[in-house]
Structure 1
Amino acid sequence: MHFADHPPRFDLRRDIYQKLPKTDNIIDWKTINPLEAALPVIESLSSFVCGVDIKQLDIVDLFWARQCYWRDTLALTAHLRTFSGPKEITATLSYLSRAREIGSLVVLPESAQVVSTVANLTWLDCKFTFKTRYPTASCLGKLMMLPEKLSDGQLHWKIWTMATLLTAFGDFPEDVRLLKEPSSVIGSSTVLSTDVVIVGGGNAGLIQAARLKALNVDFVVIEKNPQTGDNWAKRYDYMRFHIGKNYCQMPYLPYPEEAEYELPRDELQRHIQRFAREFDLGPRVLNNSKVKETSYDEKAQTWKLNLIVEGVQKSITCRALIIATGSGFSTPFVPEVADRGAFKGPSLHSSSFRSGKELLEHGAKSVIIIGSANSAFDVSEDCHNAGLTVQMIQRSPTYVIPMRYYAHPQGLGVFDVVSTEVADAMINMGPVAIGGQLPGLVHAAMAAEEPDRYSELNDAGFKAVDSTKEDLIDHLHSRAGGFVVDMGTGGVDLIVSGTAKVRSGVTPVSYTSTGLRLSDGTLMEALPILVMRLSATIPLAVLACAKATLAAEDVAKGDTAIDIHEDLAAVTIESLLEVHEVIVTLTEEIKPSPRYEAEHNALLKRMSKSHGKWDTTHPRARLLDALHGYVRYRERQTAELDKWRRMYKSTSSSQKKVVEHAVGYTKKMDTVASLIEQNHVLCQQVVDGALEFYGVERDEMTRYIEAKEKENKAAERVSVSQALKHYVRDWTVSGLRERDAAYPCIIQSLEQYFPDRSQGDVKVLLPGAGVGRLGHEVAALGGFEVTTNEWSMYMNLAYRFLEKHPRVGSNNVHPFIDGWSHHASTADMFRGVAFPDRPVNTSAVVLVEGDFTTAFKGQNGHFDALVTHFFIDTARNLMSYFETIHGLLRKGGIWVNLGPLLYGTGPYVQLSLDEIIAVVNAMGFEFVDAPESCGELTFADEKVRGREAVYGFNERALVKNAYNAQSWVMRKK
């Protein structure tokens, strides 16, 4: 049985929540004996899962036909999965119960009870235990049952929800006595090995470490900070949890009774330090460490991580890898606001912000806080207490929930009433479709009793939404926040009293010298400090953390499926930027190098109409053609989509009915249309950046486009699409597989022939650079002065956009929506890809635009090395490429090549590999040894190697494009 890895995007309240039944008046609940009512249902279910001859049709009838769910947490699916509908549940349960060999279900009599909540909803609740043989494990189950009177007049109990949970593995018992044993020291070796590596030494990582120690499993923790507890110590002083401490209780060592209910930063720091000391976890932690790269050995089934530990390179292998880096909110997400240079005061990111008092000591008098959720209120209260004037920008209405609601025992406050283990099962076992709504019903009822609670807050300009309109679980699951817990400690009062000013319904669009210009044209002033926010929801942040740690194929090969009913969903990137969290921003721009500036000035001269002959090959004409393509991205892609819409109309009405009912094909095309719009926004940003970089007035571009279109010359579509796909290939972890097939050969060749770069930078040229990643990889080695070259203006515009927007994950594209073939799932086709996956350093690489054979005239003998990657077969005249390479290299210079021989574009000459060998030998090159990473020898008597190199852009596609790419290293005689 196959479970889809990437279910479709969802909205929790719209797509997952279902209308709850009203059951209060079906029966007299006071007459029900819960255990007697539950036993027959659990016994029938037990017979079915144990393989007793009960027909599946009969077991289907056990479930409430109108609405039923089964959520499994690791017990049978080895994952988090939710199934809905009687047929789907029973079919899946039939398969998995036999695969796992489930034993009898054992009722827990004391758990049987009648449960009532608001909204006329009452049900029968009962738990049971069971064991599985494959693997040997103990599990917990729970049923929520509803009464139904059938045509025979008898009362029948139907399963509304079923939940199953793994509680322990039989072969791996936990022994808490081991926690007190001394831990062995990792040692100073540069080559390490262990069973489990945990990346992240905060709360999640150290709790997992303690669990592994109790299981007698060897582990190593990789932590970036110098000391345990720094994950809290480096947060701002006023930071606190906006939930009771029992909800976030730690195993093995609970928080002290005397600790505050809403845990403050310092207590969080102290306790995780106590936790590490109590169980002697420190010797198993590598502090001041960073994961440089990872790889997975399929044959050995082990991971290898290359690390930097306090400046020393080390490697570690392990059987299992755990990413415990948190939800990713420590990663700065900096908003794009124009004219940053105009602002005369400093900007701080929350990783640098400590307290309002510190700001005051540095001369600050006022702050602007962009954001209106929990952190915004913390920071505003702290800054006010320090004596600063506080102004807040609220983009949109904010959900406000009093702490009293939050801590209600029929919601998350249940952790204050029962043990953590029991509360965990109550809150987390059941399907979100039902369990997610129940706290919301309680909160809504409480809010309805005090409808004017936040009227004064609204009157003061802060747009507050209460629990009658918003849902806490939806915010936690889908957005990981975006709301305010009214702690009753002054944050709300500051706004109500007018002490803190609020501007609602606006966003910052640009800096001024003393503050911000807002979207409504008004100004806000705050000097010298500007407080800003931009954060992402859990799915994006978690994905960013994983991608920052793992190689692309390693992310893909893991069991990363996401359940539509679970905590994460296969959502598009643009929907992940809707969280109101405060982050105080500090941006440190990398200034272009003098070499970069010189080339930019030279480029602008070449772009002038007065430079050279004006025709279609003039650099400015080619630039304007490319701008035409990006400007008309939406129109050209929509026209292509409309073609498919027309084709779909050719199907019969009965065929359409089936397709629409089964998959919603029209909705699929509508989704493509919306994603085209999102890509169009990116394309217009590319255009805006290009106009600024190349010094082109918008009017000139518009006139050029209008003239072209009067001549019926359509904008280029494919070249723009290919450039966007090159972002995936070059600047995302999704493209790592392609890069790993080629880059090691090139990188190792350069390092082999230029091992000592201490006497001055080695000048290296990389023509055919695309959107530039390889050049940046070479620059990152150090000691190389890197120049890249690219002819295509579509690629150059894409690269110039990256130079202007270099921050990791700051951009997003949906690259696969214009290709309808070879998709395993619609989600794969729709998915968005964030880029770049590493910063783009404009001081390290200089791009020279233009034709490779003419762009470097006057520079013969200038370069020490020249790298051609998937390039030489693009030549119109291959011999001109060879002559240019030979001319640009100094005597003894090195030429590294890797790529196919796929000739196109009307080549003048097409040489086979053996002919190329003969020609370049005759021109004055000699072959030298290439690293083994370049592949196997193609000819036994020649130093040419070949290896498979993927060239696609979509690692999830059902087709793979690959070449036997040929590589060589030559020296100019």
Structure 2
Amino acid sequence: MASVQTRTFPTPVITSRQLKGSLPRVEIDENVDCSAVASSCIARLEKLQQSDLTDDALWRDCLSITGNQRTFSSSTSVLAAWNELVPKCKPRNFHLVPYSAQLFRLGPQPAWIVAAFQFETDGDQAAECSGSLNMVPDGSGGYKIWVFSTMMEALKNDSNSGNPDTFPDPTFAPATRLEDGGEIDCIVVGGGMAGLCVAGRLHALRVPYVVVERNASVGDNWTKRYDSIHLHLSNSYSEMPFQRVYADKPYNLGSKELAEGMQKYVDMHNIQVWLSSSMDQARWEEETKSWNVVVSRQGQPKKLKAKHLVMAIGGGLDVPKYPEYPNRDEFQGTVIHSADWKNADAFAGKKGIIIGAANSAFDIAQNMVDSNLSEITLVQRSTTHVMSSTVLYPIQDALYNPQCDLGMSDRMTLVPPYAVGRLMIMAGAGALQALEPNRYDYLKEAGFRFHQSPDLFANPVEKFGGHLLDHGSVSIIKTGKIKIKSGILPTSYTPTGLLFDDATELPADVIVLATGFRNNLRRSVASIIGDETADKLDDFFGLDAEGEIRGFAKPIGHPGIWYFGGGTAHARFVSRFLALQIAADIRGTSFDAYMDTP
């Protein structure tokens, strides 16, 4: 048996460029019988051999075989993990989904054969499952498996619904009679989009839960931000589970539209939300395997017990980063972080400085232009990754659009190994970027330092942001209505503005710090569960060595507690896997998460 490594926390991070994986360079006959090839390869999964796999094979699983979210690289590693796990989970009845086998093209030439399949498991966790398969010629007239993925669809043998995609029963209201001293299976901390997605999935599985949300209204986490904030991805990409709530909304959703859709989702499914509430403390009780929790509900403390806590409190992006410059008390104007900014109405005719050069900075700069500030300067401290909507939107809209099946699109984009999905997106993005090589020449002329890359999701996945998606916002530089001060750093405040390291001074009436947020969910969680327990946990976000997002809807080092957050598509889709894990545990058939690396 191959030697194994067992995981310890916190999990080290890597960059996307360090991931294993490459796209095949092969020739495929246009007239190949794709269904016959796929059926043959799928049948081999019953008794998988190393000769069935390419040397650089990849396998990703979401719960069905590993009880975890894992990616294995190389035929040796894939086969070792597969052979170790299959006897326990007992997969069977692998079969091709009719009409799913087809040639996949990168450009005009066929690149590989892709197909979908279904199967069941009859082991400790009996389930209905699905998967996808990518096959390439082996050079001898046959085909091998290059990349395959597997995922759990639904729990079998469940007296309740075992499928987290089931439309929730609005009459299910487990929090209605929850009083002081009561018990509930799951408390979701945070009622933003991520928390509501998890709640909906738990509701579909009839797991008793309640969402604890500190704001007074659903969607306040958006409407309390600056007025011009909006999502830079499409309304279809940003939908909630089960049924579209943004179909009649603008392509780029603003805070009002986001809040309206979230409230519609809550009303439609009777999502159990306690507003104006917070979780003040939670302590683990080993004897009962549950949390003793203190929740403040509209100012009244309540003591509760819960088997599971889902920490959906903004991915750790709840603490603003404030750059420290001396003599802050001398400045006679206003200094405000983007987290507290609303609009520029009060500063018409005055001078503004924005420190930062990513999405929020440009949103605020446009707001200042619209509010007729007399002088606006954007201070760029480091190079900005700029991606154009003319590159991203065609790639996104091909899969996420008003006509698509969102569940199918999510399975196509979010289940296969990230290493390969990244390379496929890069191939398309690179081709689109090449069509307009001079698009941003005016940024160079303005002194704005930037780089472009076809790796569109490196910043969101690795850094939780810090990039600039240009859907027209960057053009305000071309108009000359804002000035750029780049590579010259502030050194201190002055009574009338900011002093820089080149000895220049910039006057200002208002300075907005669009400098981001602290990305450390573990430390935010520590304020609730205590440092001793939090020190056992993994960190959240960033890529591990397999290309998996650290700590995301998976075991994190302590029973009964989970992290959840991230982008809208991940919140919508990955919430199903988190809900399945919680439901299985509540019903006495916990997942045995595979943590080894063969």
Q: Indicate whether 1:21 and 2:24 are aligned.
A: yes
Q: Which has the higher contact order (CA 8 A, sep 6+)?
A: 2
Query: Do 1:357 and 1:386's aligned partners in 2 also have CA atoms closer than 8 Å?
Result: yes
Gaps of 5+ in 2: 552-556, 558-598
SS at 2:231's partner residue?
coil
* CA deviation after TM superposition for structure 1 residue 536, in Å: 4.6
Q: Indicate whether 1:452 and 2:438 are aligned.
A: yes
Q: Paired residue for 2:218? A: 228
In the alignment, which of 67, 71, 75 is matched to residue 82 of structure 1? Answer: 71
What CA distance in whole angstroms lies between the structure 1 residues aligned with 2:304 and 2:347? 43
Deviations 1:430-450, CA, capped at 9 Å, x for gaps: 111111121122111111121
SS at 1:135's partner residue?
coil
Deviations 1:354-384, CA, capped at 9 Å, x for gaps: 1122443xxx712111111111111111111
Superposed, 1:301-316 pairs within 5 Å as 301-316=289-304
What CA distance in whole angstroms lies between the structure 2 residues aligned with 1:42 and 1:184? 42
- TM-score, scaled to structure 1: 0.53
In the alignment, which of 57, 67, 71 is matched to residue 60 of structure 2? Answer: 71
Q: Indicate whether 1:551 and 2:526 are aligned.
A: no
Change (3 A) 1:177 1:429: closer
* CA deviation after TM superposition for structure 1 residue 2, in Å: 6.2
Superposed, 1:56-455 pairs within 5 Å as 59-65=49-55, 67-118=56-107, 122-133=111-122, 134-149=124-139, 154-170=140-156, 171=158, 172-174=161-163, 176=166, 178-181=168-171, 183=173, 186-187=176-177, 189-281=179-271, 284-360=272-348, 365-388=350-373, 389-409=375-395, 411=396, 413-416=398-401, 418-455=404-441
Query: Do 1:407 and 1:414's aligned partners in 2 also have CA atoms closer than 8 Å?
Result: no
Q: Indicate whether 1:564 and 2:564 are aligned.
A: no
Deviations 1:374-413, CA, capped at 9 Å, x for gaps: 111111111110111321011222222221211224x564
What CA distance in whole angstroms lies between the structure 1 residues aligned with 2:215 and 2:80? 48
What CA distance in whole angstroms lies between the structure 2 residues aligned with 1:567 and 1:91? 19
* CA deviation after TM superposition for structure 1 residue 251, in Å: 1.5
What CA distance in whole angstroms lies between the structure 2 residues aligned with 1:495 and 1:548? 42
Superposed, 1:421-570 pairs within 5 Å as 421-467=407-453, 470-488=454-472, 491-527=473-509, 529-536=510-517, 540-555=519-534, 563-569=544-550
Q: Paired residue for 1:777? A: none
Change (3 A) 1:422 1:21: same
What CA distance in whole angstroms lies between the structure 1 residues aligned with 2:463 and 2:299? 37
* CA deviation after TM superposition for structure 1 residue 244, in Å: 0.6
- TM-score, scaled to structure 2: 0.85
* CA deviation after TM superposition for structure 1 residue 553, in Å: 4.6
The structure with the largest helix share of the pair is: 1
Deviations 1:751-789, CA, capped at 9 Å, x for gaps: xxxxxxxxxxxxxxxxxxxxxxxxxxxxxxxxxxxxxxx
Identity of aligned residues (%): 28
Query: Do 2:225 and 2:342's aligned partners in 1 also have CA atoms closer than 8 Å?
Result: yes
What CA distance in whole angstroms lies between the structure 2 residues aligned with 1:188 and 1:63? 53
Change (3 A) 1:506 1:71: farther
What CA distance in whole angstroms lies between the structure 1 residues aligned with 2:397 and 2:151? 19
Deviations 1:881-937, CA, capped at 9 Å, x for gaps: xxxxxxxxxxxxxxxxxxxxxxxxxxxxxxxxxxxxxxxxxxxxxxxxxxxxxxxxx
Instruction: For 1:325, give the aligned amino acid.
Output: I
* CA deviation after TM superposition for structure 1 residue 121, in Å: 7.0
Q: Paired residue for 1:752? A: none
SS at 1:110's partner residue?
coil
Change (3 A) 1:139 1:558: farther
Change (3 A) 1:357 1:214: same
Change (3 A) 1:354 1:474: same
The structure with the largest strand share of the pair is: 2
What CA distance in whole angstroms lies between the structure 1 residues aligned with 2:531 and 2:93? 42
What CA distance in whole angstroms lies between the structure 1 residues aligned with 2:20 and 2:504? 41
SS at 2:253's partner residue?
coil
Instruction: For 1:30, give the aligned amino acid.
Output: E
Change (3 A) 1:305 1:119: farther
What CA distance in whole angstroms lies between the structure 2 residues aligned with 1:412 and 1:211? 25
Instruction: For 2:77, give the aligned amino acid.
Output: E
In the alignment, which of 6, 12, 37 is matched to residue 8 of structure 1? Answer: 12
Q: Indicate whether 1:37 and 2:9 are aligned.
A: no
- What is the number of residues matched between the two proteins? 539
Instruction: For 2:380, give the aligned amino acid.
Output: Q
Deviations 1:432-469, CA, capped at 9 Å, x for gaps: 111112112211111112110110122112123223xx
Superposed, 1:889-904 pairs within 5 Å as none
Gaps of 5+ in 1: 49-58, 571-733, 735-973
Query: Do 1:179 and 1:213's aligned partners in 2 also have CA atoms closer than 8 Å?
Result: yes
Query: Do 1:334 and 1:533's aligned partners in 2 also have CA atoms closer than 8 Å?
Result: no
* Range with bigger deviation, 416-425 or 123-132: 416-425
Query: Do 2:105 and 2:112's aligned partners in 1 also have CA atoms closer than 8 Å?
Result: yes
Q: CA RMSD in A?
A: 2.5
What CA distance in whole angstroms lies between the structure 1 residues aligned with 2:448 and 2:151? 43
Superposed, 1:813-962 pairs within 5 Å as none
Deviations 1:178-211, CA, capped at 9 Å, x for gaps: 5322635545843221111110111222222222
What CA distance in whole angstroms lies between the structure 1 residues aligned with 2:226 and 2:12? 38
